[in-house]
Structure 1
Amino acid sequence: MQSDEMQKIMTKIKNRREELGMSYQMLSEKTGISKSSLQRYETGSIKNMPLDKIEVISKALSTTPAYLMGWEDDTAIEYKNADIIRTVKKKKIPLLGRIACGSPILNFNDLEETEYVDADNDIIADFALVCVGDSMINARIDDGDLVFIDKDAHVRDGDIAAISLDYELMLKRIYFDKNSVTLISENSKYPPRIIKFNEYSQIDFRILGKAVAFQSPL
């Protein structure tokens, strides 16, 4: 490919990625291409991109190789965006209330009646909660985001989970040790909370479920 053609492809990839709000890390996970390689493609450090890479990236960006290579106009993308909006939200999941990403919240259900939120059909969750606060921002979980919880999923070391601690609800990354559980925020201004197993008789500590997906409001 000529360098000017390659630059046009890189610009289309960058614009499309930013349009979808997709980070390099997210695109890397979807394509299997390393984050550093994606950055070098976009900045032009790598002068040539194989066609198979263009095909993989186009699929991750919900577009086509033809569009990225300039063989399709923006109208095709507008139609594809409309298709995404129509098809992504396929099922309803109960919204049970709010969960703290900052100061703990006491009441599990702050809603007068059960509400439901739309979710991707691939999300397997029992309920959703609205995140409140900034304690998980480094995990890209912001104030107002929805978190989807699977109460039956096994929570492993390092997973993000919904926690009830003395009836206060919070979202934390959890680590297990021989004699304790450590609850970690994804914001350095919130210190870790260590719960020793010998304290269990004195407090109410429950893992309500594993966080399996997050969704930002449109």
Structure 2
Amino acid sequence: MDVGERIKYRRKQLGLSAEQIAAELGVSPATVYRYESNEIMNMRIDKLEPIAKALCTTPAYLMGWDDTADVHASDNDAGLCYVQYAGPVAAHFNATPTEEHEFRCMPSEWLGHRRPEDFFVASVDGNSMYPHFHDGDDILCLRCSDMGHSGRVGIIVFGNDEATLKRIDYQPGEDWIDLVPVNPEYQTKRIEGADLEQCRVVGRVIKVIRTVDEA
């Protein structure tokens, strides 16, 4: 990819509009489109620096010198970072999340001392975890393979990549786990014995990200 294609690819990867990038750079959206179409040729490295900052990447990536697009959260002077979005995950059973090349922007302080790549964001699909989790909520999850202790809420994948968001109950040393909904209209699902070999925890919920429309 050339410089313009990398600018466009990175902008779309982050889920940002040309208008948002234009506002960050203090230029018009038309200028952003000119960058992306390479109408502005021989762009100097000092011109690329603010563009790279707005895209949370480096001039070296935009120039094609480095294939690593992401920068560490502490490198973002605005106190923001970008966490990978993994698509919807069911708050019921029989749904499969998709691995999309998108990111969600959020305050770096939400991550504590961890790196953005230690987390992912998923969207709640369904009502079995209502009222703690609403259909359409985004959830920030810490990547992990173990819940640490019983009773935490996490995402578990089993079978043919079937995934669900549930409270995960278990007793150490016993060969069963319960996937427990919050909504009493839904039933607990127990997985035990040999079926446990088909299960894996992929994340523990850290924060619910909810937009409330007060209009």
Distance (Å, rounded) in 1 between the aligned partners of 2:107 and 2:180: 28
Question: Cα 1:103–1:152, aligned 2, differ >3 Å: closer, same or farther?
Answer: closer
Q: 1:198 maps to what in 2?
A: 194
Aligned residues: 126
Is 1:106 matched up with 2:100?
no
Equivalent residue in structure 2 for 1:122, among 109, 112, 115: 109
Question: Cα 1:146–1:88, aligned 2, differ >3 Å: closer, same or farther?
Answer: farther
Q: Aligned Cα RMSD in Å?
A: 2.3
Distance (Å, rounded) in 2 between the aligned partners of 1:165 and 1:153: 13
More helix as a share of residues: 1
> Runs in 1 of length 4+ with deviation above 6 angstroms?
none
Question: Cα 1:117–1:176, aligned 2, differ >3 Å: closer, same or farther?
Answer: same
Identify unmatched segments of 5+ residues in structure 2: 1-76, 112-117
Question: Cα 1:174–1:144, aligned 2, differ >3 Å: closer, same or farther?
Answer: same
Task: Give % identity.
Answer: 18
Contact 1:99-1:105 within 8 A present in 2 as well: yes
Distance (Å, rounded) in 2 between the aligned partners of 1:132 and 1:190: 14
Using structure 1 for the length normalisation, give the TM-score: 0.52
Equivalent residue in structure 2 for 1:207, among 198, 201, 207: 201
Distance (Å, rounded) in 1 between the aligned partners of 2:157 and 2:201: 6
Contact 1:157-1:176 within 8 A present in 2 as well: yes
Identify unmatched segments of 5+ residues in structure 1: 1-86
The superposition leaves residues 158-206 of structure 1 with CA deviations (integer Å, 9 ceiling, x where unpaired) of 00011102111110000112231000011111100111133335xx211
Contact 2:122-2:138 within 8 A present in 1 as well: yes
Distance (Å, rounded) in 1 between the aligned partners of 2:205 and 2:140: 6
Distance (Å, rounded) in 2 between the aligned partners of 1:134 and 1:88: 35
**Equivalent position SS for 1:200:** helix
